[in-house]
């Protein structure tokens, strides 16, 4: 047999999953265990310290114990290498000597003078003799290969046996080759249970003790020749010997806390599953869960025996219990899915053609051709139209698969009845698994929805009638993002948003403070795996940017820009759009027209955009249309804070229009800054003094002319007009500029020096208003015909703008439903805190559409 251990999991991350026979049929282990079986992988026996720890773990108080061992970490690979060197006629002595020294050093560190050096010396002498017997250029025969490859378990069993006290402490040591009889089967190595039980009875007659250390991985053929159980052999051995010794339960000791909901290297938020059914464990094992292998589950399933996966380095962790019927407690926090797995290195093979429709035997002919070519089919998908049959195969076999199917259908292809064979490489299969999926509507919708939200295209889908597994084929480039998205879609991990912030000015800094305060709460207050992870991974100003692989602390993000690299918006966006995270968002608080130019491209790439920047909504019409189009099929675009800071102005208008109302007009105070100025301006203080006071409080832009010009108000009016379907641009708005012409183009310092020049014209306007019995307000108006204006006016004494608070924005919507008494949205509209709150609200709104439960 060629290298029977070449595919073996040396210390397969978490143990693989066999199981012993047991009488009890409830999922939890019994309180009074008669026989407990343990299995230790190579990582749990890697050195003297780990072997000593394993000996302590076995001391569980059970009346009888069976301990199955793997070779020490790396030893099986070393033995395979020695046999190969011997077969090639190369010098294997240095490797043999190093292996001998490692075991002797471990024995001495473990037991000192009590180390079983004589027994180890005899084992290594025997290994030496076997290697000498291997004839160069003749290859390694199966018997020699199995004997040499299985020597690691013999050696580790001696060390653990001695560490447990050996024969003097009542421990026997069983070389599995004395009793375990196996033969090749159609689905792998099969156990001759009758012969094995007979040999074990004979062995027990000479070793009647209750405690036994057993070599894993190795066995014997019916003729008595040495062999191995192949891949994951030690775990399979543990399940077999649990049955043979009639153990009540099996604990597989590994180096992780149990079976995880996904590969933690790909999904850092993977959670440890407390319980699994055998069916779930097998599904997860087949689809790549390294802790398990389906073959090791067979004895457990047939005898309904519980298997617990535990961490030898963290024995306090309860691990994962695998049993026949884990029941409701097995359902992970209400989600129907237990785990998500990924199989990589695949290709999609598709046979299509109109001539295939309704023709019996087409699928049989295709799969027969694949079988004869030795090609394993991972997944099958066929539509009810029968126009095409799609199968997923290992990429290494893809060319052979295509050639075989083309040969089988050569005549049909030649006659035009079949279009031919399409082969798509670089495919992964993503599978969601769980007993709770059975009979539950909407599971597939949740999976496909989560993938769609992460911009992952599904190439093929398959679900069996058992409803325990849904598998989808996706492009390898999308696989990791899809895995994270699927994991989050079923609440197995927090919904994660990779966030980049541009523009840490007044609003940006306020937003960072709010994120720092609220983001931890979204994780802490949620049920396990159901939180919202707002992960700030990039920050930038107009000159530099700082990109972080994991997460920036919002509280110190601005300080990280000191000495940062030059701003590159392409690199910034690519970093935020990390392949290993399901969702990406850029928050633009910059007020830059150049940044707004990037929105459409970001949205097209699936990056969500949130902004208080008014340039996108009120600038170039064609750019606005491109942004709108991209947001319909790409990322989501939220801009509530562009009009009313933290007020729901855009959403209110959107709700009116979406429910069929007709807009007649919009009017109101659109600037919290100007609202404050004209609520305060009563002649007791010069207007210029109020402007400087507002600037000192942070109510104005750094240059107050940006507020006094009316352009900001006009932009807000354009945004609302476009939201209502009007094709309005900034040039179409009549705007009254409150800054006298001589002050509009001077530098900021000069403007502030000459700011008193504002006072005479403003005092004259106030006096005129008082003569008319009114007050001044700076109002924006859009009428039914689409005419737009922004000006300082004297509204009617009953106008709502005359009765608001100091910084209130006030927007009135007159519609078909509200023709006389308009719908009013009113509240604070100035200051970075309320604007940042509006931006934060948009962030959370997008997160909730992605499935977050914040």
Comparison of pLDDT for 800 and 388, the residue scoring more: 800
For residue 90, give every residue at least 6 positions away whose Cβ sits within 8 Å of its Cβ, in sequence order, or none. Answer: none
Say which residue the tokens 């675009």 belong to: 637
pLDDT in tens, 126-165: 999 999 988 775 666 778 889 999 999 999 999 999 999 9
Residues in the chain: 854
467 backbone dihedrals φ, ψ, rounded to 5°: 60, 20
Q: Of 497, 719, 516, which Cα lies nearest the Cα of 612?
A: 719
* Residue 664, token pair as written in the block: 């007649």
Question: Tell me, what's the pLDDT at 765?
Answer: 95
SS (H, E, C) 723-764: HCCCCCCHHHEEECCCCCHHHCCCCHHHHHHCHHHHHHHHHH
Burial classification of residue 151, based on how many CB atoms lie within 10 Å of its CB (0-12 exposed, 13-18 middle, 19 or more buried):
buried
How far, rounded to the nearest angstrom, does the alpha carbon of residue 585 sit from its chain's CA centroid? 16
* Residue 368, token pair as written in the block: 């027969």
Comparison of pLDDT for 812 and 832, the residue scoring more: 812
**Among the ranges 54-63, 180-189, 381-390, 437-446, which has the highest mean pLDDT value?**
54-63
Say which residue the tokens 């009638």 belong to: 465
Residue 28 confidence (pLDDT) above 90: no
When pLDDT is averaged across residues 346-366 and rounded to a whole number, the result is 81
Residue 440 confidence (pLDDT) above 90: no
Confidence of residue 18 (pLDDT cuts 50, 70, 90): very low
Q: What is the pTM of this model?
A: 0.68
User: Which CATH code fits 496-645+839-850?
Assistant: 3.40.50.720
Cα–Cα–Cα angle for 805, 809, 810, nearest 5°? 95
Domain boundaries defined on the chain: 35-254, 339-491, 496-645+839-850, 659-829
Relative to beta strand 495-502, strand 532-540 is parallel
* 500 touches 574 (CB < 8 A): no
Question: Tell me, what's the pLDDT at 71?
Answer: 95
Cα within 13 Å of Cα(817), Cβ side: 11
* 305 touches 19 (CB < 8 A): yes
Question: Tell me, what's the pLDDT at 329?
Answer: 39
CATH T-level topology, domain 339-491: VC0802-like (3.30.2130)
What is the SS3 assignment for 150? coil
* Strand-pair partners of 536: 499
Report the 10 Å Cβ neighbour count for 362: 20
Any idea which residues carry the catalytic annotation?
716
What is the second-level CATH architecture of the domain 659-829? 2-Layer Sandwich (3.30)
For residue 554, give every residue at least 6 positions away whose Cβ sits within 8 Å of its Cβ, in sequence order, or none. Answer: 512, 513, 515, 516, 519, 536
How large is the angle between the packed helices 832-849 and 506-524, nearest 10 degrees?
Answer: 40
560 backbone dihedrals φ, ψ, rounded to 5°: -70, -10
* Residue 9, token pair as written in the block: 């999991």
For residue 592, give every residue at least 6 positions away whose Cβ sits within 8 Å of its Cβ, in sequence order, or none. Answer: 502, 503, 542, 613, 615
* Residue 378, token pair as written in the block: 């991972």
Largest CA distance in the chain: 119
SS (H, E, C) 587-653: EECCCCHHHHCCHHHHHHCCEEEECCCCHHHHCCHHHHHHHHHHHHHCCCEECCHHHHCCCCHHHHH
Options 3.40.1160.10, 3.40.50.10610, 3.50.50.60, 3.30.930.10; CATH for 35-254 is 3.40.1160.10
832 backbone dihedrals φ, ψ, rounded to 5°: -65, -30
Measured between alpha carbons, how far is 81 from 68 in angstroms, rounded to an integer? 24
Report the 10 Å Cβ neighbour count for 370: 21
Buried b (16+ CB within 10 A) or exposed e, 210-232: ebbbbbbbbbbbeeeebbbbbbb
* 485 touches 456 (CB < 8 A): yes
Q: Of 440, 457, 435, 439, which Cα lies nearest the Cα of 448?
A: 457
202 backbone dihedrals φ, ψ, rounded to 5°: -65, -40
Measured between alpha carbons, how far is 457 from 822 in angstroms, rounded to an integer? 46
pLDDT in tens, 610-656: 999 999 999 999 999 999 999 988 899 999 999 988 899 999 999 99
pLDDT in tens, 574-589: 999 987 788 899 999 9
Relative to beta strand 544-547, strand 565-566 is antiparallel
- The answer to whether 35-254 and 496-645+839-850 have equal CATH topology is no
* 226 touches 169 (CB < 8 A): no
Measured between alpha carbons, how far is 403 from 612 in angstroms, rounded to an integer? 58
Report CA dihedral (533, 534, 536, 540) to the nearest 10 degrees: 160
Cα within 13 Å of Cα(770), Cβ side: 9
Of 140-149, 340-349, 538-547, 673-682, minimum mean pLDDT range: 140-149
758 backbone dihedrals φ, ψ, rounded to 5°: -70, -25
* Strand-pair partners of 637: 609
* 64 touches 210 (CB < 8 A): yes
pLDDT in tens, 286-330: 665 566 666 778 888 888 889 999 999 999 999 999 988 764 433
* Strand-pair partners of 322: 276, 307
Residue 714 confidence (pLDDT) above 90: yes
Average pLDDT of the chain to the nearest whole number: 87
Q: Of 175, 145, 178, which Cα lies nearest the Cα of 158?
A: 175
Burial classification of residue 764, based on how many CB atoms lie within 10 Å of its CB (0-12 exposed, 13-18 middle, 19 or more buried):
exposed
Measured between alpha carbons, how far is 635 from 577 in angstroms, rounded to an integer? 11
**Among the ranges 34-38, 100-104, 235-239, 443-447, which has the highest mean pLDDT value?**
100-104
When pLDDT is averaged across residues 463-477 and rounded to a whole number, the result is 85
pLDDT in tens, 530-577: 678 899 999 999 999 999 988 999 999 999 999 899 999 999 999 999
Question: Tell me, what's the pLDDT at 641?
Answer: 93
């Amino acid at each position: 047999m060629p290298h029977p251990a070449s595919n073996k999991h040396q210390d397969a991350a978490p143990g693989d999953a066999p199981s012993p026979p047991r009488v009890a049929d409830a999922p939890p282990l019994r309180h009074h265990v008669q026989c407990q079986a343990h299995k230790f992988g190579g990582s749990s026996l890697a050195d003297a310290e780990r072997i000593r720890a394993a000996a302590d773990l076995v001391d569980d108080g059970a009346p009888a114990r069976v301990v199955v061992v793997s070779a020490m970490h790396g030893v099986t690979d070393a033995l395979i290498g020695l046999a190969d060197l011997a077969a090639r006629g190369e010098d294997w002595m240095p490797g043999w000597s190093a292996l001998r020294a490692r075991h002797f050093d471990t024995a001495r560190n473990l037991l000192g003078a009590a180390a079983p050096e004589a027994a180890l010396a005899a084992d290594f002498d025997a290994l030496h003799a076997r290697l000498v017997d291997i004839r160069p250029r003749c290859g390694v025969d199966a018997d020699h290969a199995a004997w040499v490859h299985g020597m690691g378990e013999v050696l580790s069993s001696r060390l653990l046996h001695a560490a447990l006290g050996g024969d003097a402490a009542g421990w026997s040591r069983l070389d599995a080759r004395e009793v375990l009889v196996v033969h090749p089967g159609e689905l792998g190595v099969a156990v001759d249970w009758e012969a094995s039980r007979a040999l074990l009875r004979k062995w027990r007659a000479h070793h009647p003790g209750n405690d036994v250390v057993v070599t894993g991985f190795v066995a014997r053929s019916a003729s008595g020749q040495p062999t191995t159980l192949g891949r994951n052999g030690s775990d399979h051995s543990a399940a077999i010997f649990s049955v043979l010794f009639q153990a009540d339960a099996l604990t597989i000791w590994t180096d992780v806390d149990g079976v995880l909901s996904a590969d933690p290297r790909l999904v850092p938020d993977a959670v440890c599953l407390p319980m699994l059914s055998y069916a779930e464990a097998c599904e997860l094992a087949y689809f790549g869960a390294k802790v398990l292998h389906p073959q090791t589950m067979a004895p457990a399933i047939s005898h309904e025996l519980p298997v617990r996966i535990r961490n030898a380095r963290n024995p306090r962790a309860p691990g994962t219990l695998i049993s026949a019927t884990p029941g409701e407690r097995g359902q992970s926090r209400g989600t129907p899915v237990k785990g998500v797995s990924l199989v990589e290195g695949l290709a999609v093979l598709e046979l299509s053609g109109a001539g295939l429709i309704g023709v019996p035997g087409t699928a049989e002919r295709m799969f027969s051709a694949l079988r004869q070519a030795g090609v394993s089919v991972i997944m099958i998908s066929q539509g009810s139209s029968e126009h095409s049959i799609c199968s997923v195969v290992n990429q290494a076999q893809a060319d052979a698969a295509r050639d075989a199917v083309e040969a089988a259908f050569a005549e049909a292809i030649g006659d035009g009845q079949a279009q031919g064979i399409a082969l798509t490489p670089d495919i992964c299969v993503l599978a969601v698994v769980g007993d709770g999926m059975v009979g539950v509507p909407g599971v597939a919708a949740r999976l496909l929805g989560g993938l769609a939200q992460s911009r992952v295209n599904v190439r093929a889908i398959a679900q069996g009638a058992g409803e325990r597994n849904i598998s989808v084929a996706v492009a390898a480039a999308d696989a990791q993002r899809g895995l994270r998205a699927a994991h989050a879609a079923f609440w197995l991990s927090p919904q994660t948003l990779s966030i980049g912030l541009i523009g840490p000015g007044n609003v940006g800094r306020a937003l960072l403070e709010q994120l720092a305060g609220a983001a931890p709460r979204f994780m802490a207050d949620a049920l396990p795996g159901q939180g919202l992870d707002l992960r700030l991974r990039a920050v930038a100003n107009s000159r530099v940017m700082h990109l972080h692989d994991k997460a920036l602390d919002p509280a110190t993000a601005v300080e990280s820009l000191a000495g940062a690299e030059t701003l590159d918006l392409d690199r910034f966006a690519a970093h935020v759009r990390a392949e290993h995270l399901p969702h990406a968002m850029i928050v633009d608080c910059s007020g830059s027209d150049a940044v707004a130019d990037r929105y459409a491209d970001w949205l097209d790439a699936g990056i969500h955009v949130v902004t208080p920047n008014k340039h996108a909504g009120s600038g170039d019409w064609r750019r606005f249309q491109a942004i709108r189009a991209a947001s319909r099929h790409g990322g989501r675009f939220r801009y509530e804070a562009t009009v009313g800071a933290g007020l729901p102005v855009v959403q209110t208008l959107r709700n009116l229009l979406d429910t069929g109302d007709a807009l007649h007009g919009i009017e109101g105070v659109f600037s919290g800054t100007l609202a404050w100025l004209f609520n305060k301006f009563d002649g007791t203080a010069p207007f210029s003094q109020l402007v400087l006071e507002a600037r000192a409080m942070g109510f104005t832009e750094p240059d107050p002319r940006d507020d006094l010009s009316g352009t900001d108000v006009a932009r807000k009016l354009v945004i609302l007009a476009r939201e209502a379907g009007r094709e309005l641009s900034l040039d179409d708005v009549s705007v009254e500029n409150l800054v006298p012409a001589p002050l509009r183009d001077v530098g900021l310092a000069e403007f502030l020096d000459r700011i008193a020049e504002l006072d005479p014209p403003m005092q004259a306007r106030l006096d005129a208003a008082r003569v008319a019995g009114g007050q001044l307000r700076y109002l924006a108006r859009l009428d039914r015909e689409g005419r737009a204006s922004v000006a300082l006016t004297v509204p009617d004494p009953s106008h709502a703008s005359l009765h608001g608070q100091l910084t209130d924005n006030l927007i009135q919507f007159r519609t078909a439903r509200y023709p006389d008494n308009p719908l009013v949205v009113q509240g604070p509209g100035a200051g970075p805190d309320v604007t940042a709150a509006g931006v934060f609200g948009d962030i959370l709104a997008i997160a909730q559409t992605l499935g977050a439960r914040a």
